[in-house]
């Protein structure tokens, strides 16, 4: 009897939460196994030391780029109408960076030493710069999220005084936007440079990777913000969106994809003019080898061309489900791009002999435990966003928060 009553009370929302929690628990168990046994349980090797987790890490950071882009648009460029979207983007941002840091914690061999980069500086290292920026930007995101918490009914009802203090942080939004822009532009591009500075890896060794990482992050970050808002508005009564606003943003993504596609295409195929050991083989991997499906379909056709056309055509963009599909494809394209960049350079092993530099192919596919832990991290992100929508109204375009006047005294 009791069980029957209980099952009757359970809504789809509860099942959704339970499902995500189950995946998260599996991820935690997987994580504990990795901590206990070491990274030997993964499929990573000395030839391919960066795999699925690094891809998720890179993708999470890139897909969080909506936060800095939209905050800059609202508070620095002055496009005030987008303030509620920037609010959603900020919340997605703090979740994305948490996911990235969780992945890194899993991936590094000595997770208890994660803080070393903050103490032992090597200013020559791109990865050091990325670590510092990610750490500092996480602090910025935390400050930017405080007013969101402070404004949630759930919080105000319990601790009105603290909520008042938290809301006040919103007065500093323009300053935080400056800091966020500065730090994000540094590390979003440097994540590309992490690969781009390595002379020993000819396929990576170009300045273009920074530009492409930056551009794709802005596109993917805004896309995720729009998509997540649209989904939330359709499944939750706590979320409501101004569709005209999201449509305009989606239109921008369409044009941004034109620029991105041009650079990505030009960059990839301008490399083929001369044979260079390692570089030509890397291109083969992308265009004909094991990464070819990812490259042609994941990145190019479905990741850029099709969503570009949908988002540029007014009638198609106006249809919610078509727009959502396009945005989902853009996000998939970004993840495929990160996966391809990370692997294409590593799967080519160059010999170091004087007379002949030969290139060999190696392979990598993630172990089951890598997939479980990765899924756990993603489930954590989705769960956090769900709770945010439900209890902090992070997708609320009717929010009165933007009515808060922002006063900046002349310095």
Partner 1 sequence: MTEKKQTVGRREFLKLALGGGAAVASLKIAKNASASKPVGSSPHKWAMVIDQGKCIGCEYCTNACRAHNDIAPDISWNRVIVSSEVNGEKIYVARPCMQCEHAPCVDVCPVKASYYRSDGIVMMDYDRCIGCRYCEVACPYNARAFNWEKYTGDNPMVPEWGEPEVERRPRGVVEKCSFCYQRVDRGLALGLTPGLDPEATPACVGACPVGGRVFGDLNDPESQVSQILKTRVTHRLREDLGTGPRVYYICPENSDSLEA
What residue ranges bind partner 1 (CB under 8 A)?
A: 37-40, 44, 46-47, 49-50, 76, 107-110, 113-114, 116-117, 120-128, 130-131, 174-175, 178-179, 182, 194, 197-201, 345-346, 349-350, 352-355, 357, 407-411
Which residue number, 88 or 189, has a Cβ lying nearer to partner 1?
189
What is the token pair recorded at 76? 């620095």
Cα separation, 247 vs 47, in Å, equals 45
Cα separation, 132 vs 183, in Å, equals 9
Which residue number, 49 or 290, has a Cβ lying nearer to partner 1?
49
* Beta-ladder partners of 360: 349
Is the separation of the CB atoms in 83 and 396 below 8 Å?
A: no
State the minimum distance, in angstroms, from the CB of residue 310 to partner 1. 37
CA-based radius of gyration for the chain: 22
Cα separation, 260 vs 254, in Å, equals 10
Which residue number, 302 or 364, has a Cβ lying nearer to partner 1?
364
State the minimum distance, in angstroms, from the CB of residue 391 to partner 1. 33
Which residue number, 27 or 51, has a Cβ lying nearer to partner 1?
51
Burial of 84 (0-12, 13-18, 19+ CB in 10 A): buried
Is the separation of the CB atoms in 23 and 358 below 8 Å?
A: no
Cα separation, 180 vs 300, in Å, equals 30
Q: With both helix axes pointing from N to C terminus, report the angle between 208-235 and 83-107 in degrees, rounded to the nearest 10.
A: 120
State the minimum distance, in angstroms, from the CB of residue 139 to partner 1. 15
State the minimum distance, in angstroms, from the CB of residue 130 to partner 1. 8
State the minimum distance, in angstroms, from the CB of residue 198 to partner 1. 5
Contacts of 397 (CB under 8 A, 6+ apart): 84, 85, 229, 240, 241, 242, 245
Which residue number, 1 or 40, has a Cβ lying nearer to partner 1?
40
**Chain centre distance of CA 350:** 31
State the minimum distance, in angstroms, from the CB of residue 204 to partner 1. 9
Which residue number, 315 or 355, has a Cβ lying nearer to partner 1?
355
State the minimum distance, in angstroms, from the CB of residue 43 to partner 1. 11
H runs (alpha helix) in 201-296: 208-235, 243-269, 279-287, 292-293
Cα separation, 408 vs 223, in Å, equals 31
What count of Cα atoms within 13 Å lies in the side-chain half-sphere of residue 250? 36
State the minimum distance, in angstroms, from the CB of residue 127 to partner 1. 4
Is the separation of the CB atoms in 238 and 389 below 8 Å?
A: yes
State the minimum distance, in angstroms, from the CB of residue 288 to partner 1. 24
State the minimum distance, in angstroms, from the CB of residue 120 to partner 1. 4
**How many degrees, rounded to 5, is the angle at CA 248 between CA 245 and CA 253?**
125
Which residue number, 174 or 290, has a Cβ lying nearer to partner 1?
174
Which residue number, 194 or 216, has a Cβ lying nearer to partner 1?
194
Which residue number, 37 or 168, has a Cβ lying nearer to partner 1?
37
DSSP 171: G
Which residue number, 282 or 388, has a Cβ lying nearer to partner 1?
282
Q: With both helix axes pointing from N to C terminus, report the angle between 83-107 and 243-269 in degrees, rounded to the nearest 10.
A: 50
């Amino acid at each position: 009897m009791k069980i029957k009553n209980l099952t009757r009370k359970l809504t789809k929302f509860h099942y959704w939460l339970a499902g995500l929690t189950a995946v998260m628990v599996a991820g935690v168990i997987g994580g504990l196994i990795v901590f206990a046994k070491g990274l030997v349980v993964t499929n990573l090797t000395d030839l391919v030391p960066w795999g699925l987790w690094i891809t998720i890490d890179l993708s999470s950071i890139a897909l969080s780029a909506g936060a800095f882009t939209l905050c800059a648009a609202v508070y620095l460029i002055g496009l005030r109408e987008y303030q509620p979207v920037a609010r959603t983007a900020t919340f997605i941002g703090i979740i994305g960076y948490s996911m990235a840091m969780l992945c890194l914690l899993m991936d590094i061999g000595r997770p208890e030493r994660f803080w070393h980069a903050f103490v032992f500086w090597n200013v020559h290292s791109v990865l050091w710069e990325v670590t510092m920026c990610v750490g500092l930007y996480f602090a910025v995101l935390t400050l930017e999220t405080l007013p969101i918490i402070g404004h949630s009914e759930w919080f105000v009802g319990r601790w009105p005084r603290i909520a008042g203090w938290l809301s006040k942080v919103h007065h500093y939004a323009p300053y935080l936007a400056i800091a966020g822009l500065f730090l994000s532009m540094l590390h979003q591009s440097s994540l590309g440079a992490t690969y781009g500075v390595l002379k020993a890896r000819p396929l990576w060794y170009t300045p273009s990777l920074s530009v492409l990482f930056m551009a794709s992050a802005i596109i993917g970050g805004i896309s995720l913000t729009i998509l997540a808002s649209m989904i939330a508005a359709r499944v939750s009564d706590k979320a409501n969106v101004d569709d005209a606003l999201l449509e305009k943003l989606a239109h921008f993504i369409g044009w941004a994809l034109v620029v991105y596609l041009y650079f990505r295409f030009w960059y990839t195929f301008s490399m083929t003019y001369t044979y260079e050991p390692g570089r030509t083989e890397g291109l083969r991997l992308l265009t004909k080898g094991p990464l070819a499906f990812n490259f042609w379909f994941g990145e190019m056709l479905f990741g850029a061309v099709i969503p570009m056309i949908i988002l540029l055509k007014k009638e198609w963009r106006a249809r919610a489900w078509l727009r959502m599909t396009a945005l989902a494809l853009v996000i998939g394209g970004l993840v495929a791009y990160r996966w391809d960049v990370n692997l294409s350079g590593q799967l080519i092993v160059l010999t170091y002999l004087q007379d002949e530099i030969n290139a060999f192919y190696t392979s990598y596919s993630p172990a089951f435990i890598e997939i479980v832990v990765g899924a756990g991290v993603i489930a954590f992100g989705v769960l956090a966003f769900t709770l945010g929508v439900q209890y902090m109204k992070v997708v609320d375009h009717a929010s009165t928060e933007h009515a808060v006047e922002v006063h900046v005294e002349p310095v």
